[in-house]
Amino acid sequence: MEHAIQLKILDARIGNSIPLPAYTTPGSAGLDLRVCIDEPIQIASQETVLLPTGIAIYIADPTLAAVILPRSGLGHKHGIVLGNLVGLIDSDYQGELKISCWNRSQEHFTVNPGERIAQLVFYPLFKHPFPLWILLQKVLVGKMVLAVPGGINDGKARISPKTSLSSCI
């Protein structure tokens, strides 16, 4: 099944001097994201910087999401990982994709224009209306009871799998 995911180029260098996001090999799970900067940027040890990609995506399908993941080689060899560890892109987000880049090594690291810095992976979502259960530490006949407002009332505790968060607040 194909999904219509829109790519918007925000910087004229994308697709010209900086390649479009692409799967490097047929077996690649993620699209390589590249840095869209004018000149090299040095990231000091333990420093975090926000790097532009020059692109925006619009997934539009609420059954999909994307995540930005670090490139394993950069993390292992140079200590370059994502500052937020994983970046979640919701289906309705339409702004520029930016990479929070953290240098966890003891050495400075230079990021060059167009360098592959992270990868973008799309995932199907399963959204389940998760009922809210409040664990009350009441002891009824020596047992813990899961109780929520509006449930079956036996005079001691009310239990319901259909309780929403709003009814408990």
Residues 85 and 58 occupy one common structural domain = yes
Domain assignment of residue 51, yes or no = yes
E-only strand ranges, the chain = 6-9, 31-34, 41-43, 48-58, 64-70, 80-82, 87-89, 96-103, 109-111, 116-124, 134-140, 143-147, 152-153, 158-159
Provide the residue range defining the domain that includes 141. 134-168
pLDDT digits (tens, 9 = 90+) for 38-86: 999 999 999 999 999 999 999 989 999 999 999 989 999 999 999 999 9
Each residue of 129-169: pLDDT tens digit?
655 544 444 444 445 445 555 554 445 444 444 444 444 44
Question: Does residue 1 sit within a domain?
Answer: no
Number of domains the chain is built from: 2
Q: Please list, residue by residue across 27-58, b when 16 or more beta carbons sit within 10 angstroms of its beta carbon and e when fewer do.
A: eeebbbbbbbbeeebebeeeeebebebbbbbb
- Decide if 129 is inside a domain: no
